[in-house]
């Protein structure tokens, strides 16, 4: 797998994780909005109940029970809002952590790109060196072939001279 493919793969994973976090944050915002609307509804109900208490003192005990029930609901909603706030804080920390990881990843990608450029430059230099060495080796091969030929001629001449002397 090439560096670019690896980088693209990492980017896709990071992108999908960030996208998932965005969706989770949007869901939490919707939950908070719904909870806020329910709180508003319950507040309106409580106001209505208080008016009825003023008008109908005979039904005071029943209304007190309903107020207590609504108070419990409000407390439950407040707990949920508090829980969602804590979850939002956790998500914000995770997003911050992912942002740092993404910054670190970008630094690593830059380092890899710089290394890759250095490798390309070194490869180009080695190819040039190889071409030069091959040319010199070709010249040396020709020189060796010439020296072998010359040596054979010299040995032949020595042989002939020895025969003449003897």
Q: What is the pLDDT of residues 3-39, one digit of tens each?
A: 888 888 888 888 888 888 888 888 889 988 998 999 9
Q: What is the pLDDT of residues 64-88, one digit of tens each?
A: 888 899 999 999 999 999 999 999 9
pLDDT of residue 50: 75
Residue recorded with tokens 């002397």: 165
Task: Tell me whether residue 80 is in a domain.
Answer: yes
- Cα–Cα distance for residue pair 34/30, rounded to 1 Å: 6
Task: Tell me whether residue 28 is in a domain.
Answer: yes
Domain containing 23: what range? 1-128
Query: How many folded domains does the chain comprise?
Result: 1
Task: Tell me whether residue 135 is in a domain.
Answer: no
Task: Tell me whether residue 53 is in a domain.
Answer: yes
Q: What is the pLDDT of residues 118-129, one digit of tens each?
A: 999 999 999 999
Using CA atoms, how far residue 28 sits from 14, 35, 111, in Å, is: 21, 10, 38
Task: Tell me whether residue 39 is in a domain.
Answer: yes
């Amino acid at each position: 797998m090439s560096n670019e493919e690896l980088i693209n793969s990492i980017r896709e994973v990071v992108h999908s994780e960030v996208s998932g976090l965005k969706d989770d944050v949007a869901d939490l915002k919707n939950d908070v909005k719904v909870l806020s609307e329910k709180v508003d509804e319950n507040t309106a109900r409580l106001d209505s109940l208080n008016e009825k208490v003023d008008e109908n003192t005979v039904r005071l005990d029943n209304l007190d029970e309903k107020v207590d029930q609504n108070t419990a609901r409000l407390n439950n909603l407040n707990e949920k809002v508090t829980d969602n706030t804590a979850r939002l804080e956790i998500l914000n920390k995770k997003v911050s952590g992912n942002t740092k990881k993404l910054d670190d990843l970008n630094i690593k990608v830059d380092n890899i790109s710089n290394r890759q450029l250095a490798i390309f430059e070194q490869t180009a230099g080695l190819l040039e060196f190889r071409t030069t060495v091959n040319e010199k080796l070709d010249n040396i091969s020709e020189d060796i072939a010439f020296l072998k030929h010359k040596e054979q001629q010299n040995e032949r001449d020595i042989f002939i001279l020895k025969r003449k002397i003897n």
